[in-house]
Structure 1
C-alpha cells in the first residue's frame, strides 16, 4: 500500500473515519449541495489550469440540475479565477510524485533555474492560519527531491483562492443579494502564502504512517466537524445511511409491515365507522364527524387565543404537523387515520399564505407560490406515510367531472375530492386506493376497481374487485396481495402486523348496538343509487476532479464541508402512480 498525505492526515484526524474510508472501503454518495467542497475544489483547480470556462464546466457537469445557489457559486468562480490565473507563473500542473512508498500530486511546479523549482498548492479557502501550519508541502518537497535526484525545490507556497460564505437575507430578493455578492467579491484578492520547509514535519509524518500501518483499533474522535462528515450517519447509528449501495440481497415486504391505504366515498357511507375496527386507532379529524365511533381523536383546526389586544392564531396545518412530530417519537397507537385528507390540503394553503404574506399562489411570482405550497404539502404527507403505523387517508368522493369516450358518450368520473395531480402523487405513496360504495339494498362494499372513470391504484395489486365493508375482509385481501408479491402466491407465515390486525378484526369496535350514523343523515334513495357502477349510469351534471483519491484533504473550513472521496450515483428512477387518467 502506497502512503499519501491525505490518507495519513485522515488517520491522525479521526482513525474511525480512516477505517471506514480506506480499510472497509465504504463510499458515500455524492453530495449535491451547491457548496460541495469536492466539486468546488476540483472546479477551481480546473479553472486555474485550463481557464474559467473550463472550471465552470467542471462544476456544472457534476449536477443534474442547476439551482440559484449553484449559480451563486459560479459567480464567485467567475469573479476570482481570472485574478488567480494572473498571479501564477508558467509551469507544469498536476505533477505526480511516484515513490515506491508514497504518491502525491503537486498542483503547480514552476522551474526557476536549472533543476530549481518553486512548488505551489491551490486551496479554495480563506483559512490562512491553518495552511501556514500545514506540513503538506514540506512532505511533497522531501519526496519530490527523493525521486528526482539533482533537482531542488526553492520555495513552497500555498495559493489561497478567496472564498466568501455570505448568504441571502430573508429581507433580500435574489437580485439584491447577487448585487451585494458582486460588491463583496470585488474587494477579495487571491493570496500567496509562503511556508518554510520543516524537516521535523517529515519525521512526524513517517511516525504517523507507522502508527497507521500497525493500527488494529480505530477509535472515534468526535469534534464540531462531525456535522459535515460524510460518514456521520454510519458513525452514530451503525447503519448504511447515505452510503452508495446496500448489501446485495433480497428485501422482503415484511420490512415494511404496516398497511398504508386511501379510502374514499360519499359522505356518511361508513368510511370512518369501518376504520373504527382497526387496531389501536387515532383519528386526526378535520370535519368533526366522530360522534358514533369509539376511537381516540384529535380535532385538527385553527386555535385562536386572545392575549390582551393581541389575537394569536395557530393554524390547523401546524397542529397536524405537531401531531406527526409526536407520532415520530413513538406511541402506543397502531393505526393513524387522517379524516379528511382534502381538508389538510386547504389547511396547508392557508398556513403557507400567512407564512409567505400572500393571498393566492399567483401572488408569489410565476409558479413559485404553487410549487412552494405543493412541496410543503407533499413532503409532510410523505413524512406521515413513512411512519411505522397503519396509515389511512380518508376522502369524500368527487363526481362533478365527466369523461368523454371515443364514441362521444359522457361518463361521470369518480375520484377523491382533491386536485388530480395531488391525488396521483398520494396514490403512489399508499399500498392501495379503495372506494366505499353503498348498494341499492343498503349493503356497503369496498371496491378496488380502477379504470378510466374510477380512480384507484396503489403499490400492491389486490386481486379482489369488491369485498364487504368489514375490517377482517380488508386484512384478508391485503395479506393475500402481500403474500403474492413476496413469494409468488405461496402462503407466508403471519407477521406481527397480520396477527395484530386479525385480532382487531375479531373484536367489536365499541357498542355493537350503537347506530352507524344519525337517521336524518342517511342518503336519499337517489344518492344511494348514484353509488353504483359508473359505467351503468347516465352522464352526470356538468361539472404534474480530482476525485479518485485527492492528494490533499481540505483543512479548516474546507474540512467542515466534507472534502474528498465522494462518488456520484445515477439518479433513481421514480415510481409511476397507478391511477385513472
Structure 2
C-alpha cells in the first residue's frame, strides 16, 4: 500500500503533471545549493536548533552546502537570532513534555509533526513551525487537521492546534553599502522582527477531503493537467526543476526522458561517479589514470603523464583547397558522446579533463550558433539559459550511458568574510556556482587533492566547511594518499561502516604533514582547513614526550575562554566581536571626585 503524505497529495491537487514526474516517474531533481536561503535546508536547520541548540543548527546548515559563502554566513546570522526567540517563546510551556519531530507512520499515511506539547494532564497541543511571512496561505492548509486525526489514532489527546510563524527577512545589500554595515542592518532587522503564534480551529472535514484526494489519485490514469490550482511553483519558469534523467528545453519542458542507470547498483560501489579538483601539478589526472578502462576526454593537451586512451576535445581545422573548415570543440565532444552511445566498447569510465574548459567550449558553440558575442546578446536571461541547457543536457546524456563518470577541474581560492569580520580562504573548482551546483548534483562525491610542504600528495575525504566537497559516504579517515589503491580501500570501508584494519591501512599523513594542513575551529564555530607555506629551513627535532605529559602541559597552559555577550546594535562593532560587560568594566578608567572650589 502506498503511503501518502500531505505534501504528496497537495502536489497532485496543484499539478498532476509534476506529481507524476516526482512520484510515479521518480525523476531525480537536482537541488539548488547556490541559494543560501534554500527553504528545505533553512527549515531543517531551524527545526534542529529548536530541538537542540544554535550550535547544532548552524553546523548542520553549513554542512548542507558544498562550501561556505558570504550569503550562507548571513543566513546563519539570522538563525542565531531567531532560534533563541523561538526557545524563549516556548519557555512559557514549563512542565510540558516536548516531543519533537514525531513520525506518524500508518499504512496509508506518513507525516512528521514538528512539535507536540504534552501537558501534565496528558492533553496535547500540536505546533507546526513555518519560516514564512505568508500567514494567510497556511491558514487554509489541512495539514494540522490531518495530524490531529492520525495522532489520536496513536493515542494522543490533541486539544489544540497552532502555527508558529518565524519571520523571514529578505533584505539586499545596497550598492553604496559595505558588507559590515549590511550585516549590521540584517541583525537590526531580524532582532526587531516578531514571532506570530496563530491557533486554529479543528475542521474534521479536512481528513475527509484528504481521503477523497487519495482515492482520486489511485483512480487517475491521466496526469497531463498542469497547474490546476495556479499555485504550482514547478510550472513557473523561474522555479523550473532540473531533472537528472531528462533532456529539457529553456522552459523546463521535458524533450526526452533518459533511461535510468540501473547497471552499476551494488552493495559495495567501487566505481562511484566523482569530481576531483586540485591546483596545477598536484596529480589529479595521474590519479584518475589508474582507474581501469578509463577514457579521457581531454581539453588542455596535458596527457604526457597518463597512459589511458584519449580523445582531444579541441577545435579541428581542415583545409579543402582554399576553403578552411572549422569544427568546434563542443561538436567534437558531442560526437564522442554519440560514439559512446552507439558503438560497442570496453570502456568502464569516462573522465572529463578539464570540465571547466568544456563549459567554455559550450559557450563558444552557443555563441557561434546564434551569432552572439556574449550571453547578454540573447536577451534578458535567455542567453545564459541556452548555454546552461546545452551543457546540462550533454552531461545528462553522458550520465545516462552507465559509465563511471569522473570530472577533473583546477582549483581556485577565494576569501569570505565571517560574522566577526575575519577572513577565511575557501577552495573550490574553477567553475561558476550554478554549473558547480549542477555538476555536484550528478556525482556521488566531490574531492579535493593537495600537496604538502614535503611534496607529498593527499586526497581530502571528509567534508570541511571552507573546502568545496561532500558526498554520500561515511568516511572513516580525513585524508589518504593520492593513490588509487588507498582510495578504493577507504571507499569500501566507508560503505561497510567500519574503518580499515590498522595493519592494512595505507600510509597516512605524518605528524609534520599536519603542520602544513591544519584543521581548526575559529571563533565563529567554522571548521576550516588552513595551509601553511613550506618552511625555509628544517627545524631541529623536538624531544619526544609522553601523551600524558603533553596533555597535562596543554591543560595548564590553555587559558579558559570567557563567554561574550552581544552589545546593543547601535554600536559600530561588527556582529560577533562584542566584549563582555566584565571586560568593559575592567577597561573603564576609575573616576575621581573633584571638589568645587569657592570662587572669588
What range is the shorter-chain TM-score in? 0.3 to 0.5
What TM-score does the superposition give when structure 1 sets the normalisation length? 0.45
Greater RCO (Cα-Cα under 8 Å, separation 6 or more)? 1
What TM-score does the superposition give when structure 2 sets the normalisation length? 0.44
User: Which structure: larger Rg?
Assistant: 1
